Structure 1
């Protein structure tokens, strides 16, 4: 299943961006032009059931990852890749990583654990309530005062386009846990409601670089954009490093 993608920049190396649950490709609106200015081509993808991508009431995490791989290979065949996934998008990235082989793979505020066995109807109802609550930009800014007006408008539109049935299906199967390859990067809020001290120890024991941003929200780049970009010189300091090397 090919997914909708926002395609920005024309550099020789591609960065794939995967949003979290109830987000969209446009969730990365502030980051995409900065990455393009660093010399990357940027592919921000709407995951299944989100944005302008297809819906699938029987979706699994494996199928979501397969769709990401198919889309990336269609749009950027043979190009070297880096990839960033946030929350649920980080789980999709972890599932897709053995085929995408991103260098680096960057996982934002995600424990990379997906509990299964949920009741489909209950989860659909819960997601529908969350979707309704997030459709008002004013309500979003009240609950997330670090959002700009544009942030709130983009996330409210993403909520309106979100399909609860597709997303609920992902959590109705078996449990999943991923451990990325050594050299991968975790960027987490500190404290984090999602990445615990035990998660940090598990990642660090496997040679994964855990970078924490004090006081950040779960959507780290919305609340602490400067700190987030500074934490990833692999992406946001590329030209500066090339100039130093030259």
Structure 2
């Protein structure tokens, strides 16, 4: 599936941005322009089932493999930098060998979902679609008003069936055995997706791991400055 994209900047270097579940390219509203100011041409996708991209016929069409194939069909090979958040980190890892960026950054990646999420077959994510602005703001007290506006808009157009497909697919087989390209893992504090033991194993496998102190799962919205600082030497 050819995905909808948004582009910032016109630099010679290319940066790719892949969002998390329930979101779309608008989650990168500050990151995209910041990278463009550093000389990148930044390309952000809407994953299938999100934003203005197409929808799968059923939940089975939302497997990580399908997401990864979409990235390869849509994005240029050999970019200078690729960044994936949460689901985007999972999908980027599945496509990174074919996309062959020079560097990859995985932001609180969803390489292994908590057991309660898998057991509920994605229902926890699907229920989140109906949350009002007040509860979303309470869950994300550090977000700016514009981020809350975007979150409500992206949830409205998100296909909740994608959560069921993801819960069916995530498991140990998608935990990266090696970085493939030089790779940074940026973690929330604490991360509910990557435990301290997981982080230790990632370091042993050759990943660099950095934690943004005090930041929640959507690090680039919780602490934009901290997020960009964590990416120094990688961007």
Answer yes or no: same fold by TM over 0.5. Answer: yes
Q: Partner residue of 1:68?
A: 71
Contact 1:81–1:101 under 8 Å retained in 2: no
Q: Partner residue of 2:206?
A: 207
Q: Partner residue of 1:239?
A: none
SS in 1 for 2:16: strand
Contact 1:137–1:149 under 8 Å retained in 2: no
SS in 1 for 2:146: helix
Structure 2 gap segments, 5+ residues each:
none
Question: How far 1:93 moved relative to its partner?
Answer: 0.3
Q: Distance in 1 between matches of 2:193 and 2:146?
A: 26
Contact 2:87–2:109 under 8 Å retained in 1: yes
Is residue 10 of structure 1 aligned with residue 10 of structure 2? yes
Q: Distance in 1 between matches of 2:226 and 2:234?
A: 13
Question: How far 1:125 moved relative to its partner?
Answer: 4.7
2:129 to 128, 131, 141: 131
Contact 2:122–2:166 under 8 Å retained in 1: no
Question: How far 1:178 moved relative to its partner?
Answer: 2.6
Count of residues in Structure 1 that have an aligned counterpart in Structure 2: 228
SS in 1 for 2:212: strand
Alignment of 1:96-245 (within 5 A): 96-110=95-109, 112-113=111-112, 123=121, 125-133=123-131, 136-173=132-169, 175=171, 176-179=173-176, 180-181=179-180, 183-234=182-233, 236=235
TM-score, with normalisation over the residues of structure 2? Answer: 0.89
| 1:172-228 Cα deviation digits (max 9, x unpaired) | 247332322363100012222221111111111011100111111111111111111
Q: Distance in 1 between matches of 2:158 and 2:97?
A: 28
Q: Relative to structure 1, is the Cα distance of residues 132 and 169 closer, same or farther in structure 2, using a 3 angstrom cutoff?
A: same
| 1:116-147 Cα deviation digits (max 9, x unpaired) | 9957xx636543321111xx333322221111
Contact 1:18–1:89 under 8 Å retained in 2: yes
Q: Distance in 1 between matches of 2:162 and 2:182?
A: 32
SS in 1 for 2:22: coil
Contact 1:113–1:178 under 8 Å retained in 2: yes
Alignment of 1:4-43 (within 5 A): 4-43=4-43
Contact 2:104–2:181 under 8 Å retained in 1: no
Structure 1 gap segments, 5+ residues each:
237-246
Q: Relative to structure 1, is the Cα distance of residues 32 and 204 closer, same or farther in structure 2, using a 3 angstrom cutoff?
A: same
Q: CA RMSD in A?
A: 2.2
Q: Partner residue of 2:50?
A: 50
TM-score, with normalisation over the residues of structure 1? Answer: 0.85
